[in-house]
Amino acid sequence: MRYVSVVNTSTGEVLAERAAVAETFLARFLGLQWRRSLPKGTGLVLLPNNSDGIVQRVGRRLRPWSVGPIVPSALYCVELPPGAARLTQPGHAIDLRAT
């Protein structure tokens, strides 16, 4: 599995220093299942979808084992530990950078 850093280029904030990239159907389906939490600085990027790296929606206070908001216009979904994207808002630009 490859890893990337996730950066909010609108604020300069690094959202995850090391996020796993789930590129296959199986990897996306499994996602974070069977994990109790995400350590600080990590995340999971679910690829592909079909947009342009601009934040479409931010799901806050999502509970484990629940489905987040479905956003058909999204290029990818980034799952982060609680509070990691507290400054991120719709319209911000997100960049995935090779680590």
Domain ranges, ordered by start, for the chain: 3-98
Residue found by looking up tokens 């950066």 in the block? 7
DSSP state of 7: E
Which range scores top for mean pLDDT: 2-11, 61-70, 76-85?
A: 2-11
| 24-30 mean pLDDT | 68
**Start-to-end Cα distance in the chain:** 12
Comparison of pLDDT for 89 and 99, the residue scoring more: 89
pLDDT at 64 over 90: no
* Fold exhibited by the domain 3-98: Jelly Rolls (2.60.120)
Distance CA 85, CA 22 (A): 19
The token pair at 99 is: 């680590």
SS3 85: coil
Lowest mean pLDDT among 11-15, 30-34, 53-57: 30-34
Q: How far is CA 95 from the centre of its chain?
A: 11
